[in-house]
Structures are given as structure tokens and as C-alpha cells.
Structure 1
Amino acid sequence: MPRPSLSRDEILDTAANLVKQHGPGALTMRKLAAELGTAVTSIYWHVGNRESLLDALVERTVADLGELRPTGGTPAQRIVSVARALRRRLRDHPHLVAMVHERGLTEQMFLPAQEVLVREVHAAGLHGPRAAEVVRAVQFHVVGHVLVERNRERAPVQRPGEEELWGARTADGDPALARALAAPIDTEKVFTTSIRALVTGLLEAPPRGAGTGATVN
């Protein structure tokens, strides 16, 4: 019989933590049982075999990304808040997100966030193709930024580094700019600045062709 205090949620929490720290390859039923202080048979009783466990973790990851709650007083602020929350979720669970992707559920994973963005874009007065462009642009910006961050973190030590590359010559005679570019990157600040600019521009941009006086023959 399974340990009385053991629950499915406890198993999934512990399994998710193992994957988060060491990747899916580190998740074995024996290691999980050791972490929980229980028998392997108890885990099988609650969640089934390893593939069933991985499927359950994927389902939880998809559901977790659907629990995004916009904050802010304007549509732009609320869209930015969704983008920032989505970035944090993706950053917090890279191995779990990779598992979702490997199982062909990436589009399903992003659907809840897209639905939240659609509601906010509609609240901003945009509909149809323009609204779709905003939703896609925000999603691609978030995912692209996370990929760049992850690649930088996993890259070998750069020689020379940015602190050596930026000087008066490369900064076009702007020493303040050189110092800023040579300093460690605050990725959160970079993301917030760029997503705010993107969203503001997208919401304020007139429909394509509007006000240009151009005609199409």
C-alpha cells in the first residue's frame, strides 16, 4: 500500500523539481522514490509508469501557463504584464517547456496566453488581422527573448568579453554608452523596455495604408 501521506500532487511537485534542476533525463522512478522517501511501487500506484508521469508533468505545465492574470490600468499595461508573466513562466521551467515541445503540444501550451492577449487587444479596440498581428508579435517577442537569454547563459565564456570590446572607438565616441554596453546585462530591464515599446507602437500604429493617400491599382 502507498504511504498514507503521499499524494499525487506531492509526487508531481517533486518530479517537476527534479526536472527543473537536472533535466528530464535525471527523472527516474528510483530517484523520485528516494527523494520522496517511499517505494517505487507507491509512485506507480499514484501516477503510473514513467511515461504517464511525464505526461502528467506536461499537462501541469500547460495548465500553469494558462493561469496568467493581467494587471494594470490600460490595455498596453495589461498586455505588457501578460508578456512579462509569460516570460517568467518560460524562464522558470525550461526543461518542462522543452518536454511540452517534444510531445507536440507547444501550440496548446501557448493557447491560454494567446486567449488572454486577444481579450486585452480587443479591449484596446483592435480586431481581425490587426489584433492577430499584435498577439503574434507579443508571443514571438517573448519566446525570442527567452531563447536569447538561454543561449547567452549556456554559451562558453567569451574572450574578449563585452567589457573589453566596448570603448571610445566602438561606441562612436560615446563613453557613457560604452560603459553601459560593457556592464552586465539586466535582461529583465531589457525585456521590459523592449516589450513596452513594441506594445505601445503596435497599439498606436494606424491601419496599414491609412492616411498615406496611396492607391492600389
Structure 2
Amino acid sequence: MARPSLSREEVLVAAAALVRAHGPAALTMRRLAAELGTAVTSIYWHVGNRESLLDALVERTVREVGEIVPRGAEPAARIVSVARALRRELRARPHLVAMVHERGLTERMFLPAQRALVHEMHAAGLRGAGAADAVRAVQFHVVGQLLVERNRERAPVQHPAEEELWQPAGPESAEGDPALARALARPVDEERLFTLSVRALVAGLLALGGDPG
């Protein structure tokens, strides 16, 4: 039985959930209608054809990724909070972000985060080209770690795995540092590693005053 009423936002939410879980190829009008318990004609009425639906999802993704609010008492903490939020938003929707990229809207998607970073760089005393370099360094750091994480997730299972290579009976290259070997034998905590590295990056950028020379 078809649902008595349906909003455009409900259609977009359901469509985004399908893409996030299964990729764009899984998004058909018939499957989306089944997910929503409605007729295919109702989907067309709310969002148009499939291309129009994909365009709407791209615009929605651009808007969502842009809704980042800096948090913290000091500029450094607020910059780190923007980086962490941007990573979280991008990581949560890889298929949708890929669709944004394919439509040539990546730079527009990043613009709100860049503006938030510019504001905090100014608050920290950075100006001009130095501030621009700092903004891009933080942005590239976010994207770079995401690419590494995605590559690790997609890579074939490794034999032996990194964890196995650093077991106590592993290589002597630990150089007499058993605590280091034990740490490298544990799975990577990606969130912790990102936070550690972006804090160090931001501290270095602010200490340099944004001057790469």
C-alpha cells in the first residue's frame, strides 16, 4: 500500500542512505520507491528523473559538508576542530563525495571549511600568503589521510600483516625499543593518529607564523 504522503526531503534522505550504503549504482527509482513504500511515479513527482535526483543529492552533500562549526576556546583548537569535522563528514559519505567530485563541485564543497579556517588563521595572527598556505596545508592533510585510509581499506589482505611483522619475535629494527614494537603491532587508531598529526601540524604552522621560509 502506498504511503499517503511523502516529502522531497524524505526522498533525498532515503536516496542518500542507499548511495552511502551501496554506491550510486544501487540507486534506482524502483528500489528507492520500494524503500519508501510508495509508487515510482511519486518519486518522479518529487525529484524528477534519476539524473535530477543525483544532482539534488550532490547539492545536498555540498551543503551538508559545508555545515561545519569551529569549536574550542583558542584558534589552534578551533582549527583542529574544523579539520576533524571535515574528515568526519567526508569519511561518512565517500560515494556521495565521489559524485560531487565527478560533477566538478569539489572546490565549492570545500569552500565553507576553507572560510572557517581563514577566520581562525586570522584570529591566530596569520595573514596573507602565509595564512593561505596554512589553510591549504590543513585541508590537504585531511584529504591525504582520508586517501591513505581508503587505500588501506581497499587493499588486499596482507600476509603477513603489519601487526604480525612487529610482534615480539619480529624484526630487530625496533632498535631496542620494545614499547615501540608493541605499539606498531597494534591496529592503527586512525582517529587518534589524525588528531595527533593535525595538532602537530597546526602548532607548527602557527609557530612559524605561516611563513614557509
- TM-score category (smaller protein): over 0.9
Partner of 2:107: 107
Q: Is the 8 A contact 1:76 1:199 kept in 2?
A: yes
Matches within 5 A, 1:58-77: 58-77=58-77
Partner of 2:154: 154
Runs of 4+ in structure 1 off by over 6 angstroms are: none
Give CA-to-partner distance per residue, 1:90-117, whole Å, 9 cap, x none: 1100000000000011111101110111
Distance 1:208 1:117, change over 3 A: closer
Aligned residue for 1:170, secondary structure, equals: helix
Partner of 1:169: 172
Partner of 1:193: 196
Q: Is the 8 A contact 2:79 2:117 kept in 1?
A: yes
Give CA-to-partner distance per residue, 1:51-92, whole Å, 9 cap, x none: 000000000000011110000011000000000000000110
Corresponding position: 1:124 with 2:124: yes
Partner of 1:34: 34
Where structure 1 has 5 or more consecutive residues not aligned to the other structure, the ranges are 210-217
Q: Is the 8 A contact 1:171 1:177 kept in 2?
A: yes
Where structure 2 has 5 or more consecutive residues not aligned to the other structure, the ranges are none
Aligned residue for 2:43, secondary structure, equals: helix
Q: Distance in 1 between the 2:212 and 2:37 partners?
A: 62
Q: Distance in 2 between the 1:3 and 1:53 partners?
A: 20
Q: Distance in 1 between the 2:128 and 2:179 partners?
A: 44
Normalised by the length of structure 1, the TM-score is 0.93
Give CA-to-partner distance per residue, 1:159-195, whole Å, 9 cap, x none: 0111221235021221110010010110000000000
| 1:3 Cα deviation after fit | 4.7
Aligned residue for 1:156, secondary structure, equals: coil
Q: Distance in 2 between the 1:128 and 1:33 partners?
A: 51
Pick from 184, 187, 191: which aligns with 2:187?
Answer: 184
Q: Distance in 2 between the 1:103 and 1:71 partners?
A: 31
Corresponding position: 1:204 with 2:207: yes
Partner of 1:54: 54
Q: Is the 8 A contact 2:130 2:212 kept in 1?
A: no
Q: Distance in 1 between the 2:37 and 2:4 partners?
A: 12
Q: Distance in 1 between the 2:212 and 2:24 partners?
A: 46
Normalised by the length of structure 2, the TM-score is 0.95
Q: Distance in 1 between the 2:177 and 2:7 partners?
A: 60
Q: Distance in 2 between the 1:155 and 1:65 partners?
A: 27
Give CA-to-partner distance per residue, 1:24-55, whole Å, 9 cap, x none: 01000000001001111100000000000000
Identity %: 75
Q: Distance in 2 between the 1:201 and 1:141 partners?
A: 13
Aligned length: 208
| 1:208 Cα deviation after fit | 5.0
Distance 1:157 1:208, change over 3 A: closer
Q: Distance in 2 between the 1:208 and 1:103 partners?
A: 33
Distance 1:176 1:143, change over 3 A: same
Distance 1:163 1:42, change over 3 A: same
